[in-house]
Amino acid sequence: MNGMTGIPLPDYTALPEAVRERSARIEAREVVLDVQSLDKRFGKAGQETEVLQDVSFAVRRREFLCILGPSGCGKSTLIRILGGLEPKSGGSIKVKGREVEGADADRGMVFQEYSLFPWLTLQQNVMFGPKMTGRGGTDKAAEALQWLEMIGLAGRAKSYPHQVSGGMKQRVAIARALANYPGVLLMDEPFGALDAQTRTQMQDHLLQIWRNVDVTIAFITHDLEEAIYLADRILVLDAHPGRVKEIITVPLERPRRREMLLSPYFLATRKRLEELIHTGSGAERDLLPMIRLTQVGDDVE
Amino acid sequence: MHSSARGHGWVLGIASFALPLLVWSAISYLPFLWHPMVRITDPGQVDYFVKDMQIERATFLEENRKLAEAGRIPAQGVRENPVYLPAPHLVAKALFTAFRTPPRLAGDPWLHESLAHSIRIIFYGFALSCLVGIPLGLLCGSVPPASGLFEPFIDFIRYMPAPAFGALAVAITGIHDAPKVAIIFIGTFFQMVLVISNTARNLPKALQQAAQTLGAKSGQIVMHVVLPGILPQLYRDLRILLGWAWTYLIVAELIGASSGISFFINQQAKYRNYANVFAAIIIIGCIGIGTDTLLKYLGRWLFPWEPRR
Report pLDDT for A185: 97
Section A65-70 average pLDDT: 93
Report pLDDT for A285: 55
pLDDT greater than 60 at residue B261: yes
From the list B220, B303, B305, the residue facing A132 with the nearest CB is B220
pLDDT greater than 60 at residue A159: yes
* Bridge-based pairing state of the strands A49-60 and A31-42: antiparallel
CATH code of A77's domain: 3.40.50.300
Report pLDDT for B100: 84
Section B85-92 average pLDDT: 93
In B, which residues are within 8 Å of A115 by CB distance?
204, 206-207, 209-210
Determine the distance in angstroms separating the CA of B123 from the nearest CA of chain A, rounded to an integer: 29
Q: Could B214 and A85 be called an inter-chain contact, meaning their C-beta atoms sit closer than 8 Å?
A: no
Say whether residue B166 is in contact with chain A using an 8 A CB cutoff.
no
Distance spanning both ends of chain A, measured CA to CA: 18
Q: Could B211 and A132 be called an inter-chain contact, meaning their C-beta atoms sit closer than 8 Å?
A: yes
Q: Summarize chain A as % helix, strand, coil (round to 5).
A: 35, 20, 40
Contact B18, B44 (CB under 8 A): no
A39-58 residues touching B, CB cutoff 8 A:
none
Q: Could B214 and A162 be called an inter-chain contact, meaning their C-beta atoms sit closer than 8 Å?
A: no
Question: Which amino acid, one-letter code, is at A287?
Answer: L
Tell me the β-bridge partners of A242: A52
Report pLDDT for A286: 61
Identify whether A2 is part of a domain: no
State yes or no: ipTM above 0.95. Answer: no
Report pLDDT for A4: 54
A147: which residues sit within 8 A by CB, 6+ positions away?
A126, A175, A176, A178, A179
Q: Look at residues A31, A177, A211, A208 and name the one whose alpha carbon lies nearest to residue A106.
A: A177
pLDDT greater than 60 at residue B1: no
Say whether residue A107 is in contact with chain B using an 8 A CB cutoff.
yes
Q: Name the residue with higher pLDDT: A213 or A298.
A: A213
Pick the residue from chain B with its C-alpha nearest to A132.
Answer: B216
Q: In a 10 Å sphere around its CB, with 0-12 CB exposed, 13-18 middle and 19+ buried, how is residue B110 labelled?
A: middle
Quickly state the pLDDT bin for A135 (edges 50, 70, 90).
Answer: confident
Section B14-31 average pLDDT: 94
> Which residue of B208, B209, B214, B300 is the best one to mutate when testing the A interface, meaning the one whose CB has the most A CBs within 10 A?
B214
Q: Name the residue with higher pLDDT: A90 or A240.
A: A90
* CATH no., domain B100-302: 1.10.3720.10
The alpha carbon of residue B9 and the mean position of all alpha carbons in its chain are separated, in whole angstroms, by: 24
Residue B143 — φ and ψ, nearest 5°?
Answer: -120, 100
Report pLDDT for A281: 47
Domain containing residue A27: 17-106+182-279
Q: Look at residues B27, B66, B305 and name the one whose alpha carbon lies nearest to residue A117.
A: B305
Pick the residue from chain A with its C-alpha nearest to B215.
Answer: A105
Identify whether A171 is part of a domain: no
From the list B212, B220, B231, the residue facing A85 with the nearest CB is B212
Q: Where are the domains positioned within chain B?
A: 2-83, 100-302
In B, which residues are within 8 Å of A111 by CB distance?
206, 209-210
Helices (H), chain A: 17-28, 75-82, 122-133, 140-150, 166-178, 196-212, 224-230, 264-278
Q: Look at residues B81, A183, A181, A187 and name the one whose alpha carbon lies nearest to residue A171.
A: A187
Identify whether A169 is part of a domain: no
CA distances B227 to A105, A132, B156, Å, are 22, 16, 28
Determine the distance in angstroms separating the CA of A219 from the nearest CA of chain B, rounded to an integer: 16
From the list A105, A119, A161, the residue facing B214 with the nearest CB is A105
Section B20-43 average pLDDT: 92
Question: Which amino acid, one-letter code, is at B19?
Answer: L
Q: Look at residues B265, B282, B284, B286 and name the one whose alpha carbon lies nearest to residue B108.
A: B265
* Bridge-based pairing state of the strands A107-110 and A184-188: parallel
Quickly state the pLDDT bin for A3 (edges 50, 70, 90).
Answer: very low
A180-209 residues touching B, CB cutoff 8 A:
180, 186
Pick the residue from chain A with its C-alpha nearest to B305.
Answer: A119
pLDDT greater than 90 at residue B194: yes
Report pLDDT for B257: 81
Residue A275 — φ and ψ, nearest 5°?
Answer: -60, -45
- pLDDT tens readout for residues A198-241: 999 999 999 999 999 999 999 999 999 999 999 999 999 998 88
Name the average pLDDT for chain B.
90
Count of structural domains within chain A: 1
In B, which residues are within 8 Å of A173 by CB distance?
210
Report pLDDT for A162: 94
Contact B200, B230 (CB under 8 A): yes
Q: Give the whole-angstrom CA distance, residue A10 versus residue A6.
A: 12
* Bridge-based pairing state of the strands B37-42 and B54-56: antiparallel
Name the average pLDDT for chain A.
90
Q: Look at residues A149, A140, A221 and name the one whose alpha carbon lies nearest to residue A181.
A: A140
